[in-house]
Amino acid sequence: MRKASVISIGNEILSGQTVDTNALYLSGKLLSIGIPVVSSYTAGDDINLIVRMLGLASEDADLVLVTGGLGPTDDDVTRQALAKFLGVELQLKSELLEKIQNMFAHRERPMPERNKIQAYIPVGAKAIKNNLGTAPGIRAESADKLYFVMPGVPSEMKQIFEESVFPELKKFASKQAIVVLKLRCFGAGESVIAEKLGELMQRGRNPLINCTVHYGVVTLHIIVATAEGKGQAQEMAGKCEKMLRNALGELIYGTGEQTLAEVVGAKLAQQKKTIAVAESCTGGTLAKLLTDIPGASRYFTYGWVTYSNAAKIKELGVEADLIEKEGAVSERTAEAMAQGARKRAGTDFAIGITGIAGPDGGSEHKPVGLVYISVSSDGSCETKRFVFVAHSRDFIRLQAAQTALNMLRLKL
């Protein structure tokens, strides 16, 4: 199986000014044809450093993909570094120069002298056509390794990659195709999930299960590293998925890129049910998550952000006495908010959320992160107490809104 390594070049990446989306894009594309990216490197615009990185990448992999440093300005030195690494000179290609001149003529501008450098490539290498910019890509071979150098501008890189590089790399597509299947979980931390999965998550297994966490959503990646062809790989992934589903049950809410709001919205639409929300500490976060989904108007009709006590009393009919006695952040206030919202909006379900998002406003008995969530439906009202660890105000708010969606999901 061929392996790849990716090198990103540019001071702007190392200075924290630009996110390196090129390496991400290339890794995803390569993985899709079963070529794993085993390492990636970033270098500033420095000839010696780039030469060193080319050497390192060549140790790791058979295919080396380089982006950046092909521009016309003095800080662009990738083509010089590639020539030095290959031990050859740069050579002016008249047909490339002509193309660059035509490009400027088309834009009705004279070609600045400094663009001439883009017509030079290392002796023995080939230029790769760039339809969008003046810098051609470069393809070189050396000691059984293949090098593809592309511009750093993402649109140009992608165009060159898709048109010229990817078709060639497909020849090396591993027959042992890698299938990546994602299962999305909510309602337990990664260590609890790992414990439930036990040896299924051990290193070196095939399929391998990787785990990532993003704002409380635990994603399990099922990666089939070796299989005889794509059919077998899919079958192996499918079997593994079944085992994970058996072990985790309701903790798994979806697959692929699905969000909780998407899954909940689809269930509401399918069952022709409607929902209203009454939010205090989350301040609109839950309504926003629900309405992020196109077509949410089929099931979402009303939302209240009752940030003040007066609003809770006036808009939702929460009793002033209740707030006085139990506090705005209490089980019974959450319940009254949910019930008031459901009654007022005339929906099948309503959610009430009240809590302390911080950073201020916490006390010993009611710490920052304390949130009550109530889900009211015809004939029942379930209210739960949570203490979200105080990462940040944003985290607590999002976590509370997601947890509310999850409570509703389990009811649907």
- Per the DSSP assignment, residues forming a β-bridge with 122 are 90
Residue with Cβ nearer a second copy (126 or 221): 221
**Alpha-carbon gap, residue 276 to 386, rounded angstroms:** 21
| Distance spanning both ends of the chain, measured CA to CA | 46
**Alpha-carbon gap, residue 77 to 48, rounded angstroms:** 10
CB of 348 to a second copy, least distance (A): 14
Q: Cis omega (within 30 of 0) on the bond before 294?
A: no
CB of 124 to a second copy, least distance (A): 26
DSSP conformation class of 110: P
**Alpha-carbon gap, residue 116 to 275, rounded angstroms:** 63
What the block records as the tokens of 330 is: 């209490």
CB of 394 to a second copy, least distance (A): 7
CB neighbour class for 95 (10 Å; exposed up to 12, middle 13-18, buried from 19): exposed
Residue with Cβ nearer a second copy (294 or 379): 294
Residue with Cβ nearer a second copy (52 or 126): 52
CB of 147 to a second copy, least distance (A): 19
CB of 41 to a second copy, least distance (A): 6
CB of 377 to a second copy, least distance (A): 19
CB 213 within 8 A of CB 190: yes
Q: State how beta strands 137-142 and 145-150 pair.
A: antiparallel
Beta strands in 1-151 (DSSP E): 4-9, 37-43, 63-67, 90-92, 120-122, 126-128, 137-142, 145-150
CB of 410 to a second copy, least distance (A): 19
Residue with Cβ nearer a second copy (191 or 270): 191
Sheet containing 252-255: order of strands: 208-214, 217-224, 179-185, 252-255
CB of 230 to a second copy, least distance (A): 17
Nearby residues of 410 by Cβ (< 8 Å), 6 or more positions away: 250
Residue with Cβ nearer a second copy (285 or 376): 285
Q: What are phi and psi of 367, to 5 degrees?
A: -75, 160
CB of 266 to a second copy, least distance (A): 16
Residue with Cβ nearer a second copy (166 or 302): 302
Residue with Cβ nearer a second copy (360 or 380): 360
Residue with Cβ nearer a second copy (123 or 308): 308
Q: Which SS3 state, helix, strand or coil, does residue 281 take?
A: coil
Task: Count CB neighbours of 149 within 10 A.
Answer: 30
Q: State how beta strands 370-377 and 380-387 pair.
A: antiparallel
Residue with Cβ nearer a second copy (30 or 82): 30
